[in-house]
Chain A
Amino acid sequence: MTRMVDSDAAQVALVLGGDRDAFRVLVERHSRKLFRLAYRMTGNEQDAEEIVQDAFVRAYRKLDRFESRANFSTWLYRICANCALDRMRKQKTEDSHREHEREYEEGATGPLAVAASEAPAPDRLVMSEQLGAGVRTAMAELSATERAAFVMRHVDGFSIEEIAKSLELSIGATKNSVFRAVQKLRRQLEPLVSAAR
């Protein structure tokens, strides 16, 4: 672990010295981890790849602000989370109109509600697939900040303080974002989770 961190710092120093190709090592080393974060936040492969690309480009341009004593991986993760947030907020604005139209056409029942109404299915596999679809739908209905806070807290295990710093929120606002995310997920998913047991 220490070797990896040292090695990241060495690559950063090379890049700062003008060796652009040294950045390739960092991209290849960290892009898969960033993809998982971006995918969890967006639920879409293409978006996730674009977010990872944006994150690396942003990191490269801000590299002289990276403090060598810090952990490069964590620094990169934060940049990626913010790139994902930016993109989700932008998409949310663009999609909101289309979404209202879709909800109206479905008679105020989203796919999750349809899935829940069809439960309980006898087959556990079917339930598992329904649960997976339910999770994706429920996650998609969280706000960008709630989703980022939830993923960072409950998937990647960051502390509330670390999330607050990364997302530039107060401790209280961060705690509230995590709480609201779990609250919304609970309302959507509890029937499915109970049925899947």
Chain B
Amino acid sequence: MNHPDEQQLIEYASGDATAASTVREMEQHLAECAVCRESVEGVKRVVAAASAVEIPEPDAAYESRMWHRVAAEIEPRRAGFGWREWFSGRRLAAVGAMAAMVIAAFLAGRYSPRPETATPTVAATPQVRERILLVAVGDHLDRAQSILLEISNAEPASGAAAKTVDISREQKRAEELLGANRLYRQTAQKTGDATVADVLGELEPLLVELANGPSAVPASEIETLRKRIEARGLLLKVRVVSSNVHEREKTTVKGSNNL
């Protein structure tokens, strides 16, 4: 072997000569050539010197300081788009805590003393109260059904580079429905209307996730959501309960007209 060139020398000294034949030839040559042997040793000394630079040790508060600097720039994460976590224990606990607050607020409002002159006589009748509630819940379920339909049929915009779906409209509507959904569910539970309470209970995690999720989501997440909605039969349940509520609404109207 002739004298190796600089690249061969450096790669050999660095342990980066990959071909076994090259390594063998280098070793044979080095055994015979003191000049190249010294060159290889020189490269190793340079690499060792350059690798041994003293690094200043950060002070004891460094880790804590670093966390505070990082924390100032990051937001709490949501668990992805969250469809997988619809019914996780942690999320249900959070929803439960919120629901407890809403119930407390609702009951406090319901049983707190009211000015005697404030309530019109007609509004106090049970039939009228029920009718108002049924109209509101019926309308609520129609709007929820519309969101479910739009999510189920959502498609990425044509030419969207990352195949994302813009659900900002549905997100805004979910935000609007969320508070009412909780209130209607609790009222339904209180009045023993288990069917309405159940379907509103199933809607609630979806509304929470939609309201708090990103406004553009990957098409794959939408597909996951669509499958969830289908698997739970949520759209059908909302449709059926909504239809029942509207029927009861009509019956109540007839009843109150007969008073």
Contact = CB atoms under 8 A, between A and B. Distances in A.
Interface string B95-112: 000000000000000000
Chain A interface, >50% SS class: helix
Nearest to A56: B70
A32 B11 CA distance: 31
Interface in A4-29: 15-18, 20, 23-24, 27-28
Nearest to B58: A35
B66 A193 contact: no
B11 to A, nearest CB: 6
Contacts of A20: 71, 74-77
Interface string B71-84: 10111111110000
Contact of B74 (A39, A57, A179): A57
A189 B44 CA distance: 12
A78 interface: no
Contacts of B90: 17-18
B69 interface: yes
A53 B70 contact: yes
B117 interface: no
A178 B79 contact: no
B46 A60 contact: no
A27 B70 contact: yes
B63 A28 contact: yes
Contact of A135 (B49, B58, B64): B49
B43 A23 contact: no
Given A52-B66, A186-B42, A186-B46, A18 B74 contact: no
Contacts of A28: 63-64, 66-67
A1 interface: no
Interface stretch (A68-76, A101-109, A118-126, A147-155): A147-155
Contacts of B54: 132
Given A52-B66, A53-B69, A175-B16, A18 B78 contact: yes
B158 interface: no
B51 A155 contact: yes
A115 interface: no
B67 A64 contact: no
A143 interface: no
Given A16-B79, A35-B58, A153-B14, A182 B49 contact: no
* Max chain A Cβ within 10 angstroms of own Cβ: one of B50, B54, B64, B78: B50
Contacts of A139: 50, 53
Interface size class of B (residues with CB under 8 A): 35 or more
B125 interface: no
Contacts of A61: 74
B236 interface: no
A24 to B, nearest CB: 5
B65 to A, nearest CB: 8
Contacts of A53: 66, 69-70, 73
B55 A154 contact: no
A49 interface: yes
B44 to A, nearest CB: 10
Nearest to A37: B55
Interface string A33-57: 0011001100101000100110011
Given A23-B70, A52-B66, A132 B53 contact: yes
B50 A18 contact: no
B56 to A, nearest CB: 6
A85 B71 CA distance: 23
* Max chain A Cβ within 10 angstroms of own Cβ: one of B7, B55, B71: B55
* Max chain A Cβ within 10 angstroms of own Cβ: one of B42, B70, B75, B76: B70
Given A179-B10, A182-B13, A190-B46, 16 more contacts: A18-B78, A18-B79, A18-B90, A20-B75, A31-B63, A49-B69, A53-B70, A61-B74, A132-B53, A135-B53, A139-B50, A154-B50, A182-B10, A182-B46, A182-B47, A189-B49
12 contacts: A15-B77, A18-B79, A28-B66, A32-B62, A49-B58, A60-B74, A63-B77, A136-B53, A139-B50, A179-B11, A182-B14, A186-B43
Interface of B: 6-7, 10-11, 13-14, 16, 42-43, 45-47, 49-51, 53-56, 58, 62-64, 66-67, 69-71, 73-80, 85, 90
